[in-house]
Amino acid sequence: MGSLSDEKLLSALDKHDQLIRDCVAGRILFRIFLEHYNNFYMFYALDGHESGPEEQALFASHENRIAPHREVWDSIILRLCSDEDAPKESYIQAGYFGSDEATKRLKAISERYLDS
pLDDT, tens only, 53-83: 999 999 999 999 999 999 999 999 999 999 9
Mean pLDDT of 104-113: 98
Q: Say what the pLDDT of residue 116 is.
A: 59
Q: Say what the pLDDT of residue 1 is.
A: 47
Give the pLDDT band of residue 4 (cuts 50, 70, 90).
Answer: confident
> Which sequence spans correspond to the domains of the chain?
6-45+58-114
Q: What is the pLDDT of residues 13-47, one digit of tens each?
A: 999 999 999 999 999 999 999 999 999 999 999 99
| Closest by Cα among 50, 56, 61 to 10 | 61
